[in-house]
């Protein structure tokens, strides 16, 4: 089996300061994400998979062990998280995604408020998502642990994630302590909407 590997960041660990600090980024990437990659590879050694595709694996996650679910989700979720962050982000969406946000939520600020509400309402560790439903519309949801909307273990809120906010404490506690709300507000300052727009188009292409 070809093992999964830790993706390299396209920016330095201190590039997102003051919104996300260098120490958090370093530990989050080098230790937490690396552990998910290592544990996923180890868990897959116990299966018949020879060259697994991560997206396909997550969409059939009910067929696998909790170790594959937790670590496969951790690898996918963090990989997406790094990709949508930037020290020089596009600060607002345009085109089809902007239209979908306005249609669904009313405005970009209303979307941010909805995601903050979901993030604060997620008890314990988890993620908040903007995702493309299988019917092509968009929605907001929160998932526990390292679950995400692609997983077939979810009964509702399924689809393709295009924007995820990590609300595990390791994502923010060094700088924000227990102030998850402040972290959720700061996140938007380093979110690159150009990357989210690209993921939106990719998600739509999967359901056409």
DSSP string, the chain: -PPP-PPPPSS-TTTTTTTS-HHHHHHIIIIIIHHHHHHHHHHHTTSS-SS--HHHHHHTGGGS-HHHHHHHHHHHHHHHHHHTB-SS---S--HHHHHHHHHHHSSHHHHHHHHHHHHHHS-SSEEEEEEEETTS-EEEEEEETT--TT-TT-SSS-EEEEEEEE-SGGGTHHHHTT-HHHHHHHHTTSB-HHHHHHHHHHHHHHH-
Region 4-26 average pLDDT = 98
pLDDT(1) > 70: no
What whole-number percentage of the chain has pLDDT above 70?
A: 100
| Domain over 21-208 is classified CATH 3.40.109.10 | no
Tell if the pTM clears 0.95, that is, is over it: yes
Q: For residue 49, what pLDDT is reported?
A: 86
Ligand-binding annotation for 32, yes or no, is no
Ligand-binding annotation for 75, yes or no, is no
Ligand-binding annotation for 29, yes or no, is no
Region 150-178 average pLDDT = 97
- Average pLDDT value for the chain: 97
Ligand-binding annotation for 170, yes or no, is yes
pLDDT(153) > 90: yes
> pLDDT tens, 52-106?
899 999 999 999 999 999 999 999 999 999 999 999 999 999 999 999 999 999 9
Residue boundaries of the structural domains of the chain: 21-208
């Amino acid at each position: 089996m070809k093992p999964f590997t830790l993706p390299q960041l396209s920016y330095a660990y201190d590039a997102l300061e003051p919104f996300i600090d260098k120490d958090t980024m370093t530990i989050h990437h080098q230790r937490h994400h690396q552990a998910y990659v290592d544990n996923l590879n180890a868990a897959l050694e116990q299966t018949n998979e020879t060259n697994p595709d991560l997206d396909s694996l997550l969409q059939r996650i009910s067929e696998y062990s909790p170790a594959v679910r937790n670590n496969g989700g951790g690898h996918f979720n963090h990989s997406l998280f790094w990709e949508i962050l930037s020290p020089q982000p596009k600060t607002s969406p345009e085109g089809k995604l902007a239209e979908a946000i306005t249609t669904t939520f009313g405005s970009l600020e209303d979307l941010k408020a909805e995601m903050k509400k979901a993030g604060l309402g997620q008890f314990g560790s988890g993620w908040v998502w903007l995702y493309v439903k299988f019917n092509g519309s968009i929605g907001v949801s929160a998932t526990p642990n390292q679950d995400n909307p692609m997983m077939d273990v979810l009964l509702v809120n399924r689809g393709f994630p295009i924007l995820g906010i990590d609300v595990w404490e390791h994502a923010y506690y060094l700088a924000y302590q227990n102030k998850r709300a402040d972290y959720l507000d700061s996140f938007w300052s380093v979110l690159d909407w150009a990357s989210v727009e690209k993921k939106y188009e990719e998600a739509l292409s999967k359901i056409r």
